[in-house]
Structure 1
């Protein structure tokens, strides 16, 4: 087993490019591969594929988030996946599904007792969920600040997770790794994998790299890898530590809008259910199984209907040019005079912010919050204003609150942040997307 290559590892972290903020052990045993076979008749609303019985989906979670994030998986996508296992940092049952402690016996005992990253884990082992304090119940993914106890513990699960998955299902052709806030587009994943040779070592995912013979490297270099893990903030960086010679890395490029997505990351329950409903309609309308949903299809069905000239209590995550009293004060006289009247008045009100956006030909959306206007040429949907924080910033995945959240109490005004989209420009934008598809309409990224 040590010399056997891990044929495929998928570390799925792709994010919907339009930003809608954008698997598990049943009972005590996973349904055997032989009982599934390659000709299983799929359930209503589920895709069919010769690969159905050859893929092991592995969900990584943690005690601080499992009860919140897992139920929607059990109610939706996992009903279509015949082989999955759930790895956590605590052995328990949730809604009749068994979670395994992937760290049990996988980490050096001295390290576990001495490294503060394991404080949460040691409490779980000693007292179970009764040992959890409110301060530790922030989740290990969404809201994953680097000082979050669940987040710090999460990075230690990656290498043991890969080894356990391989030992658990050595005859699987593919291993798909997802997180608690990942939506898996199962029909697209199966079709995508069918285009690769499972006998070759592939690493398919985003950004982070992985090496050949991962489990062998883990077993032979545990002390070195554990030392590296202690220094890093994210587990996928640890997973990518071994050399990646001979492995294939696949990432989406500018053509992503017409490509079939395999996953969406940083999803909340509402977004998860919206995509599941979309997929159910798609499967009913395309029963031949020869057509697969693409980013464009999902955007038109899920995102576009939610865009409007004004949405109160909504943060569309506009990222671009900001206008506020303090920012304008920091400008030089020359730069301030170079602004148009609409830009200088943008911070006054929602309507003034709209006019500032209208004055810029490439502005497609904007947001306003008590003396602060942000205009943007990037199209985003965003989330309700009562969301506690942005999922992740670009700075080491720290959970951040935008200025509107820091400066206002959520209870002070239901409309402290408002969003708007330039609907006429969005119509033109969508038309340009459609016209750009052309010859790549049926492409897959391989």
Structure 2
């Protein structure tokens, strides 16, 4: 009896365990943690693949016992051409913590090779930040007036003080000295796979997909120096803040000239020139021209406006949008999110144009009049007799409807409507002043300013502008 009773008890316990396990299996969906995504990664299937690639067996899905890692965009680092590009970000120690994170969390997630240059050597999390000033001659660093901030930065770093407190105290004077040392370090340390060098600033935004597609239209074995053309005196150069591109051939020619002349002698000569000039990007153009490399204009693809300040004309509309300047960290992120969505929908082989940026960011905001808003209208300035000065049009010589335009926003809008379509597409008004604009601009709020405008856009004229440029050919050249 005791043996039989023990056997029955064991079987009962076994059956109970089986039922418990079965119940847990059936209820697993109610208690196992779920996967989550804050943002979709850039799609792997939008990257061009070899046609002969076959689907590979997938391993069985593991049950998540801890929250899964945040989604990444590692696939975008493998896009054809990405491994051939090095991006150099030029910034300053006083603004590093305000502006660098936005780049590391967005575009730089897709850039396999980048270097960060500042006026102070440090580490930002796991990223090295190189001191571009360190290679300037010691006597200049210790004695030249331009380096007062640099010397103060070194002191603050030694004492563990917050270097951001030095913001606005000489950063511009230091900036011009960063160019040559920064380029030399990048040109001489980059691997053979790097065929293009792209320089941006902390307030520059670049489109990674458009940049890669743009570079495919050129041969890196030729000496290219590309950017938004600017002029100081007789010197044409690429504006640094808009973004500057050097091919490997151009980089090699510059370094060869430096080696041939002797580094110390070459550096000393150019340091003397820099000390007597305002801008490092302009002096770089001189050094390149000296070696037969002239600027290839790339504006408006590479240019220095923001989405809100740009004049949306036929010059921009069908051009590939590669860069923006004077952007805030919020705008860097907004442009990145727009690009991520574009790639998800169109893949890596279709560029987006300025037109597409307009339709996403601006179109819906210019359908109504806006109060406390300056839309940057500036082609005609109609000013009442009481407020006019010698630079304004003579009020008595204005037509009746133009004089009336200074009395109300409705009359200002009517003045815009009364002139030819190509002469006015938008207006802005404040008592006594009516400004008319022939180009589309969005502008910005003046709510916190002392002067307030009311702004408006003519929808039918804007629509006609868009219709005139439907189907226009994509522009890849400046």
Common fold by TM > 0.5: yes
CA change 1:348–1:232 in 2 (3 A) is: farther
Measured against aligned partners, the alpha-carbon deviations of 1:131-171 in whole angstroms (never above 9, x if no partner) come to: 7575x424xxxxxxxxx611121111111110011122142
How is 1:339-378 mapped onto 2 (pairs within 5 angstroms)? 339-361=398-420, 362-369=423-430, 371-378=432-439
Measured against aligned partners, the alpha-carbon deviations of 1:224-279 in whole angstroms (never above 9, x if no partner) come to: 22222122222211211214225461324765421222212221233323322221
Q: Match for residue 477 of structure 2?
A: 445
Q: Match for residue 183 of structure 1?
A: 205
236-245 vs 55-64, which deviates more? 236-245
- Kindly indicate whether residue 331 of structure 2 is the aligned counterpart of residue 310 of structure 1: no
Measured against aligned partners, the alpha-carbon deviations of 1:64-118 in whole angstroms (never above 9, x if no partner) come to: 22222212112211111111110011123335433221111x2122222332211
TM-score, normalised on structure 1?
Answer: 0.73
Q: Match for residue 103 of structure 1?
A: 133
Q: Match for residue 462 of structure 2?
A: 426
- Kindly indicate whether residue 345 of structure 2 is the aligned counterpart of residue 323 of structure 1: no
Where 2:86 maps in the other structure, the secondary structure is strand
CA distance in 2, matches of 1:342, 1:176: 51
- Kindly indicate whether residue 281 of structure 2 is the aligned counterpart of residue 250 of structure 1: no
Where 2:388 maps in the other structure, the secondary structure is helix
Contact 2:77 2:112 in 1 (8 A): no
CA change 1:271–1:383 in 2 (3 A) is: farther
Structure 2: unaligned runs, 5 residues or longer: 1-47, 51-71, 230-236, 239-245, 301-313
Contact 2:116 2:129 in 1 (8 A): yes
CA distance in 2, matches of 1:110, 1:369: 55
Greater helix content: 2
Q: Match for residue 269 of structure 2?
A: 224
CA change 1:216–1:273 in 2 (3 A) is: same
Q: Match for residue 8 of structure 1?
A: none
Contact 1:275 1:302 in 2 (8 A): no
CA change 1:81–1:132 in 2 (3 A) is: closer
Aligned residue among 189, 193, 214 for 2:254 = 214
Q: Match for residue 116 of structure 1?
A: 145
CA change 1:51–1:341 in 2 (3 A) is: same
Q: Match for residue 200 of structure 1?
A: 222
* Greater RCO (CA < 8 Å, at least 6 residues apart): 1
Contact 2:383 2:392 in 1 (8 A): no
Post-superposition offset of 1:217: 4.8
Contact 2:89 2:117 in 1 (8 A): yes
CA distance in 1, matches of 2:458, 2:344: 33
TM-score, normalised on structure 2?
Answer: 0.69
CA change 1:235–1:368 in 2 (3 A) is: farther
Measured against aligned partners, the alpha-carbon deviations of 1:193-247 in whole angstroms (never above 9, x if no partner) come to: 1222222211121221697732355534222222221222222112112142254
Where 1:221 maps in the other structure, the secondary structure is helix
CA change 1:205–1:133 in 2 (3 A) is: closer
Where 1:434 maps in the other structure, the secondary structure is coil
Contact 2:383 2:395 in 1 (8 A): no
- Kindly indicate whether residue 307 of structure 2 is the aligned counterpart of residue 260 of structure 1: no
Structure 1: unaligned runs, 5 residues or longer: 1-37, 139-147, 388-404, 410-415
Contact 1:188 1:262 in 2 (8 A): yes
Q: Match for residue 283 of structure 2?
A: 238
Post-superposition offset of 1:60: 0.5
Post-superposition offset of 1:57: 0.8
Contact 2:416 2:424 in 1 (8 A): yes
Contact 1:124 1:131 in 2 (8 A): no
119-128 vs 252-261, which deviates more? 252-261
Q: Match for residue 9 of structure 1?
A: none
CA change 1:275–1:158 in 2 (3 A) is: same
Where 1:429 maps in the other structure, the secondary structure is helix
Where 1:379 maps in the other structure, the secondary structure is coil
